[in-house]
Chain A
Amino acid sequence: MTGPQPVAKQEVAANSEVQAEPLLKAGNSHIADGVFHFAMLACGLCVLGLVGLIIYELISGSRLSWHAFGLKFFFRSEWDPVNEQFGALPFVYGTLVSSFLALLLAVPLAIGVAVFITEMCPRWLKGPLAFTTELLAAIPSVIYGLWAIFVLVPVLRHYGEPFCAHYLGWTGLFEGPPYGIGMLAAGIILAIMVVPIVSAITREVMTAVPQQQREAVLALGATRWEMIRTGVLRNARAGILGGVILGLGRALGETMAVTMVIGNRPEIARSLFAPGYTMASVIANEFSEATGDTYLSALIEIGLALFIVTIIVNILAQFLVWTVTRGTPARTHA
């Protein structure tokens, strides 16, 4: 911003010599400004460089496994470090099933919470409730895992799973011995961790819906729920979907809590009681003990796949949220 300075310099320097000194310093600021600009640019470039570095390291690290197994890596279910045979199918399956289970449980709850906080609850309750749900997001994953091992899993083993097996056993999803530890426990703990994200985004996009929408629908004689359904939720639905997908991104990459309760067995089972394994947990458990270059490379390739999937999911989610919060509500609905 050198625009205004030369002008000031000419005028004042002609009037008095006393003020010339600080202005001379200001003249040097051209260089200082350049240096500062460059330093800040370097920090910005750091961000670019980091993402580039992540991509480079993941690709170069997984090259060995890529050459050995190719794309079939993701469709093989063999995981045999001794004979160096690796396939990621059980992990992909575990990640997808646990994440979708989590969303299935979390999304209705999260939208309910968001609706209650933005549209229904008394004003004095709004702040505390919003803060409390945000607090859920601040609890570290390892503490959720600890709690899940010692509280959630025993409850599931003694009450939850026998109950499900008795009433829902015919679906085939709730069969086998109730260990407590397994896919179901992982899905539930993930759901608890995903709720605050989905509900925060849902709240954000619901607040972005213009007030006149609500007033207009109410003026037509709608009840409060009809107002929320037709006036608010319908207008915000692209953004809510964005929040759900953002929650999916979090669930896919979540490591510690899942590792602690999913059972860590690379198997594909229909029953949700059975133990499983996810992409993130196999990296967490085996990375520091991986002997052999192919083994390490296979783990890094799983990391690369996880990276690509979460990036795509996050970009999609941000785009959807943006369509709602950029000012005009989405016009996609019929």
Chain B
Amino acid sequence: MPETVTPTSDFAAARISLWRRGMNSFATLAAAAAVILVLLPLGAVFGYLVYKGIGSINWAFLTQTPKPVGEAGGGMANAIAGSAFILLIASVIGVPIGIGAGIYLAEYGRNQFGNVVRFTADVLNGVPSIVVGIVAYAIVVLSQGHFSALAGGVALAIMMIPTIARTTEEMLLLVPTVVREAAYGLGVSRWRTTLSITLRTATSGVITGVMLAFARVAGETAPLLFTAFGNQYWNWKVNQPTAALSLQIFTYAISPFDEWHRQAWAGALILIVLIVVAVSAVRIVAGRGMLKGTS
């Protein structure tokens, strides 16, 4: 390597270069070792999930509600459906507000007030999920008088909004101003331009943001503990306590029963598969190009 700095004595130069070359190799090795050390737990988590989970997933697990302690069998069907239900409520509340806030930031928010909103969104993004749970409890559960799917949905929606808003803004800003000007030049009104031209052009990017937010809240447990609360039975009512996959995994994992541990692994496997599918879908959508039709 390039250690040809005019040497004062051959001996010193050789010694320094050996030291430097050694450091270089050592640093490379250390960085590679760090990568391996980080990938190790990832491999261990996935390996164990598949190893422990796959044997416990069967038809009963996917179609039945939990059995009482001591009885074998039973499943998490109500928890899987409950998770989907809560996530649906969260998406219905969070996605429109998030995208709207993103549009505001990108199209109208290039000013002092926009900066305030942007900053606040970043603050909201950093709020610990358990604190969001407390707030959803105070707003929804206290006013309703009992735990409910709605409270869980509100908690998750609060967590989705900042992520969606910031990615939507980023994606809309990638759309060239020329495209907007072309629409204005044709006499298209501003709101129409934003919805049919700008947002449309950035669709795949916006979807990426929504899916990322979705994947982020899909496994959340802490904000559901005292909002959705969990339920042993089926529930489709918005104002009743509802089971969730993540809650069920938590309850089963800290229980002392082997049968429940087995089911916790199975539930975790299903949850991770759902999330990995969502994240991979994002990669594929994003890989097709953030902005179709502008390049």
Interface size class of B (residues with CB under 8 A): 35 or more
Q: Which residues of B contact A110 (CB under 8 A)?
A: 34, 38
Q: Which residues of A contact B1 (CB under 8 A)?
A: 223-224
The segment from A135-143, A171-179, A265-273, A326-334 found at the interface with B is: A135-143
The 0/1 profile, CB within 8 Å of A marked 1, for residues 249-278 of chain B is 110011000000100110010011001100
Q: Does A320 reach chain B (CB closer than 8 Å)?
A: no
B268→A146 contact, CB < 8 A: yes
Q: Does A26 reach chain B (CB closer than 8 Å)?
A: yes
B219→A223 contact, CB < 8 A: no
Q: Does A44 reach chain B (CB closer than 8 Å)?
A: yes
The segment from A48-56, A159-167, A204-212, A236-244 found at the interface with B is: A48-56
B4→A221 contact, CB < 8 A: yes
Determine which residue in A116, A132, A143 has the highest number of CB atoms from chain B within 10 A of its CB, and name it. Answer: A143
B246→A142 contact, CB < 8 A: yes
Query: Given that A29-B191, A225-B28, A260-B250 are contacting pairs, would A288 and B229 also be in contact in the complex, using a CB cutoff of 8 Å?
Result: yes
Partner of B226, one of A50, A145, A146, A288: A288
A132 and B26 CA atoms in complex are apart in Å by 24
A144 and B221 CA atoms in complex are apart in Å by 12
A136 and B40 CA atoms in complex are apart in Å by 11
A334 and B23 CA atoms in complex are apart in Å by 24
A51→B120 contact, CB < 8 A: yes
Partner of B279, one of A138, A192, A253, A303: A138
Partner of A135, one of B27, B35, B229, B279: B279
Partner of B272, one of A48, A120, A143, A145: A143
Q: Does B62 reach chain A (CB closer than 8 Å)?
A: no
Q: Give the total number of A-B pairs whose CB atoms are below 8 A apart.
A: 283
The 0/1 profile, CB within 8 Å of A marked 1, for residues 38-62 of chain B is 1101101100110010000000000
The 0/1 profile, CB within 8 Å of B marked 1, for residues 169-209 of chain A is 00000000000000000000000100100010000000000
A113→B128 contact, CB < 8 A: no
B268→A108 contact, CB < 8 A: no
Q: Which residues of A contact B187 (CB under 8 A)?
A: 4-5, 8-9, 22-23, 26
A310→B103 contact, CB < 8 A: no
Partner of A112, one of B30, B99, B219, B268: B30
A147→B44 contact, CB < 8 A: yes
Q: Which residues of A contact B250 (CB under 8 A)?
A: 142, 145, 256, 260
B131→A143 contact, CB < 8 A: no
Q: Which residues of A contact B104 (CB under 8 A)?
A: 40-41, 43-44
Q: Within residues 275 to 327 of chain A, which ones have a CB less than 8 A from any CB in chain B?
A: 280, 283-284, 287-288, 299-300, 303, 306-307, 310-311, 313-315, 318
Query: Given that A29-B190, A146-B249, A147-B44 are contacting pairs, would A46 and B161 also be in contact in the complex, using a CB cutoff of 8 Å?
Result: yes
A40 and B104 CA atoms in complex are apart in Å by 5
A113→B137 contact, CB < 8 A: no
A36→B131 contact, CB < 8 A: no
The segment from B65-73, B105-113, B200-208 found at the interface with A is: B105-113
A104 and B27 CA atoms in complex are apart in Å by 19
CB distance from A18 to the nearest CB of B (A): 14
A138→B134 contact, CB < 8 A: no
Query: Given that A41-B104, A54-B131, A138-B215 are contacting pairs, would A145 and B5 also be in contact in the complex, using a CB cutoff of 8 Å?
Result: no
Q: Which residues of B contact A46 (CB under 8 A)?
A: 97, 100-101, 161
Residue of B nearest to A224 (CB): B24
A51 and B161 CA atoms in complex are apart in Å by 12
Partner of B126, one of A36, A41, A150, A314: A314
B129→A253 contact, CB < 8 A: yes
Partner of B124, one of A8, A39, A51: A51
Q: Does A68 reach chain B (CB closer than 8 Å)?
A: no
A221→B5 contact, CB < 8 A: yes
11 contacts between A and B (CB under 8 A): A33-B191, A51-B124, A110-B38, A132-B42, A143-B49, A145-B253, A224-B28, A256-B221, A287-B137, A299-B134, A315-B123
Other than the known A116-B32, A141-B222, A147-B45, what 19 A-B pairs have Cβ atoms closer than 8 Å?
Answer: A4-B185, A4-B187, A35-B191, A36-B194, A44-B114, A113-B31, A116-B31, A131-B283, A140-B218, A140-B220, A141-B219, A151-B44, A224-B28, A249-B126, A300-B134, A306-B130, A306-B131, A311-B127, A314-B126
